[in-house]
Every structure is written in structure tokens, then in C-alpha cells.
Structure 1
């Protein structure tokens, strides 16, 4: 009998950032996440990888190190998709694929602002604690992104 609590293996957080799409989008590069995400100490390209493989090392202030691989990037559709390919310390799940997507708000009271979503789709072995942690990390990161844009 399974001991875990059944849970969704996906998370989706969003925010309206009171800035133009171009001001937000230019920060959405894996190697630049440390420029806005307060939990990150550094985000830098991994040297020695092939030119076809975009891998960035995220070092968090708590000492966690993730190697993230850019899976997709569209400057036309304004999104980036990445996966975690290694973690130290090791994560408790097999995989996660995340997407940050930006949309211009074109009408209404938020016209001229940017709607940002940050989703994560985890493997089926991710438990409720992993999903909750991902939810709160994305909320904090979106708030940090807004603050970074406002400081410009």
C-alpha cells in the first residue's frame, strides 16, 4: 500500500508585472536568473558543454546546486523551457520540466503590463512537499522578478 499522499505533479504560478513585456522578457534567460531571483547566488553557463547544449549552473544561497538545461526558447512567443539535469544535494523525484512564459497585456486596467506564468511538470514520484515547495519558490521568484523590473 502506498504511503504517500496522492497529489498533482504539476504546479503553475502567475503574476501581472507592472512593466512592458520587453522590460520583463530581457531578464528571462537561464544564465540571468540570479539577476532577479533572490534565492540564487549565481547563475552561469557550464563550461565544456557542446555548443548545441545550453546548460546553466544555478547555485542557490542555501548551497543547493542545479544544472538546468534549456530545452526550448522562443523570442517570438516569449517563453523558455528548461529541465533539471542534476542536483546536489539530490532531489527526491526523477525529473521536472519548467516553463516561464510572458504575455503582453493588451487591454483593460493592466494594459501595457506583462502577464507571466511559471509552470513545472514533475515526474510521478514527486510528493506533495515537492509540489508545495515548487509553488512557493515560483511565487517568490515572480515577486523578485517584479522588483527587479521596478528597480530599472
Structure 2
């Protein structure tokens, strides 16, 4: 296996693990962190229903897509996969921004959500940096002159 192929696989694995970590940390903040009952009391039934459709339902649906791409990135060495992994990393970053913009009332009801969101953005930044390394490695593989 050529060295650039090894580096390419390492960058892909780092990006996949980092985006998976970002998604898990965000899920912890949304779903499994200790809620504040007084914070949840400020929402009426319509507010809770709206939060479910704006934040929680998209999170649950996107979990399947993120998990599928991460598993494929870890077990596959296919060349078109970096584009899909890049789309997932950017999609996770957009969803994190969506939670920060639309879900700000949740910060009182889920006190650990802000910290989870911050760490999720850090992990997504690591995934983005790994993708830069992946794309640069792939670019150098394609532009390397043929010897012989």
C-alpha cells in the first residue's frame, strides 16, 4: 500500500471518528443530559411540540445518515466517499448552528446543552481539519507524476 494511500485512509478515519464524536456529544446534550424541570415548565404543550419537530425529530432522522456514512468511511476505501463524508461534516455543522439559533430556549431546560454544543463544534472542527488533510492527500495522489 503506497504511503499516500495510508495517509488518505488515516485522514478519512480521523474525520469519520471526529464527526461521530461531534454527533454523539450533541445527542448527549439534547437527550441524555440532566434536564432542569423548572426550565421545561416554561414551555407549554405547543412549545414542546415545536421543539420536537424543529430539533429532536431532525436529530433522530439525521442520526441514521450520520451513522451510515461514518461506518462506510471506517470500513471502505472507496474514492467517492470523501465527498459524502464532507457533506456529512458540513451537515452536522449546519445542524449545530441550527440548534444554537433555534434551540436557544432549550439552554435553560437542558443546562448541559450549551457545553455539549460547544464540544460538538470543536469535534466538528477537528473533522473539518482532517478533511482538509484528506483532500490535500487525494489531490497530491492525483497530481503526482508517473515514474518510469
TM-score, length basis structure 2? 0.30
Greater length-normalized contact order (CA 8 Å, ≥ 6 residues apart): 2
Larger helix proportion, structure 1 or 2?
2
TM-score, length basis structure 1? 0.29
Larger strand proportion, structure 1 or 2?
1
